[in-house]
């Protein structure tokens, strides 16, 4: 089996460098950034948000190079428009009232259909795409990945603030995203027919507008032949994104090997899985996470260490072991990204300092930990 193809989508917020509040400049920033990035940059739901996309890659180092250059290009484009781009799961400071939505028929339809849900979706994620040959394989791999969703949430938690207040959570984005009708951990899929029956029901009842509205943490992409892992907050640094992509690819490769070997996927109770995701969103890396194998809490840092050991064969097969271990060691030393945001605030009690910290880490390769 050759190396799995991996690609990444990253979402960013735009802020005013003086007020540090969100600023609705997405259209201009996208147009400016497109001079360098072409169609790898585009709008998101609100005019406060921008999305970038990488090409598919087989080498993690090549992905890292493109992620780094893409963030730098976006940052330059934002500066030329008098703004700054930040990579965080939720806004630190935001103007009052509903956000201005991006233009387009789909966004208008979404606003009419979901009303206040759209008003509060000022959240950003990092999506990792893994190449898979067909829907049946994608769903089988998804089944094997489900128990790891809480640890992905804990590892990438980077959204403790929401519009001027500390939420008490490490990943507030995770909790707000769960309000959508088809969101959170996906079901255990018995077959491709089971998946299609569920989707047909959602469409027939108007629960989702289209297949793009399937907001599960893991889903088969509706437009490219990939399995999309969507559980992560927008990551603080490029290195964090590379670490996430390397781990997700190794998880998918390990799951694919289990599928080919005929090994059954673990089936945690949906209620237990959802509770573990909530626990991970609250604590991030700074405390315990629920170990679904035992049903008991255990330090999140130790669980990531065990995950790396579990993924060792897949990491080595892809040539990613050294890089992933280096990036994890660096993140482990610096500490939780959500706690780094809080540390920036503690210096002077200024939320503006948190935004400045995020501006700095967005184009940083690493660091940006405890202040």
CB count, 10 Å around CB of 326?
13
DSSP 100-130: PBPSSHHHHHHHHHHTHHHHT----EEEEEE
In a domain, 367, yes or no: no
pLDDT in single tens digits along all 371 residues of the chain: 689 999 999 999 999 999 999 999 999 999 999 999 999 999 999 999 999 999 999 999 999 999 999 999 999 999 999 999 999 999 999 998 889 988 888 888 888 888 888 888 899 999 999 999 999 999 999 999 999 999 999 999 999 999 999 999 999 999 999 999 999 999 999 999 999 999 999 999 999 999 999 999 999 998 889 999 999 999 999 999 999 999 999 999 999 999 999 999 999 999 999 999 999 999 999 999 999 989 999 999 999 999 999 999 999 999 999 999 999 999 999 889 999 999 999 999 999 999 999 999 999 877 544 33
The pLDDT of residue 371 is 33
The pLDDT of residue 367 is 57
Domain tally for the chain? 1
The pLDDT of residue 1 is 67
Exposure string for 62-87, b = 16+ CB within 10 A, e = fewer: ebbebbbebbebbbbbbeebebbbbb
In a domain, 368, yes or no: no
54 touches 8 (CB < 8 A): yes
pTM of the model: 0.97
The pLDDT of residue 196 is 97
CATH code at 35?
3.30.590.20
What would the two tokens of residue 6 be?
A: 């991996």
Q: Which domain range does residue 298 map to? A: 6-362
In a domain, 32, yes or no: yes
Distance CA 97, CA 90 (A): 16
The pLDDT of residue 97 is 86
Q: Are strands 84-86 and 6-15 parallel, antiparallel or unpaired?
A: antiparallel
| Phi, psi (deg, nearest 5) at residue 43 | -80, 170
DSSP code of residue 147: G
In a domain, 18, yes or no: yes
DSSP 259-328: HHTTPPPP---HHHHHHHHHHHHHHTTSSEEEETTTTEEEEHHHHHHHHHHHTHHHHHHTT-HHHHHHHH
In a domain, 371, yes or no: no
Burial of 5 (0-12, 13-18, 19+ CB in 10 A): middle
In angstroms, how far apart are the furthest CA atoms of the chain? 57
In a domain, 305, yes or no: yes
Closest CA to 329 of 307, 312, 305, 352: 305
In a domain, 300, yes or no: yes
């Amino acid at each position: 089996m050759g190396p799995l193809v991996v690609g990444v989508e990253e979402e960013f917020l735009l802020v005013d460098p003086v007020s540090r509040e969100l600023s609705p400049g997405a259209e201009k920033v996208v147009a400016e950034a497109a001079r360098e990035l072409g169609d790898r940059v585009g709008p998101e739901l609100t005019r406060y948000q921008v999305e970038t996309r990488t090409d598919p890659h087989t080498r993690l180092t090549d992905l890292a190079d493109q992620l780094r250059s893409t963030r730098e290009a976006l940052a330059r484009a934002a500066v030329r428009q008098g703004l700054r781009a930040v990579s965080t799961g939720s806004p630190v400071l935001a103007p009052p009232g509903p956000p201005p939505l991006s233009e387009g028929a789909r966004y208008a339809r979404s606003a009419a259909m979901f009303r206040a849900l759209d008003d509060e979706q000022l959240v950003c994620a990092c999506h990792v795409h893994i190449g898979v040959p067909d829907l049946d394989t994608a769903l089988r791999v998804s089944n094997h990945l489900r128990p790891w969703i809480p640890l992905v949430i804990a590892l990438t938690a980077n959204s403790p603030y929401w519009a001027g207040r500390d939420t008490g959570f490490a990943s507030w984005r995770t909790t707000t995203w769960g309000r959508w009708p088809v969101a959170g951990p996906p079901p255990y899929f018995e077959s491709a027919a089971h998946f299609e029956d569920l989707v047909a029901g959602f469409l027939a009842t108007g629960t989702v507008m289209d297949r793009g509205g399937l907001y599960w943490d893991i889903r088969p992409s509706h437009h490219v032949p990939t399995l999309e892992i969507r559980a992560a907050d927008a990551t603080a640094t490029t290195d964090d994104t590379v670490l996430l992509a390397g781990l997700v690819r190794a998880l998918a490769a390990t799951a694919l090997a289990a599928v080919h070997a005929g090994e059954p996927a673990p089936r945690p109770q949906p209620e237990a899985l959802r509770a573990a995701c909530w626990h991970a969103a609250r604590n991030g890396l700074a405390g315990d996470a629920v170990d679904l194998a035992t049903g008991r809490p255990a330090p999140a840092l130790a669980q990531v260490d065990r995950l790396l050991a579990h993924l060792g064969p897949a990491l080595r097969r892809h040539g990613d072991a050294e890089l992933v271990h280096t990036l994890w060691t660096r993140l482990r030393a610096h500490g939780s990204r959500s706690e780094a945001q809080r540390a920036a605030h503690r210096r002077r009690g200024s939320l503006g300092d948190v935004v400045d910290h995020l501006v700095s880490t967005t184009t940083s390769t690493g660091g940006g930990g405890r202040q």
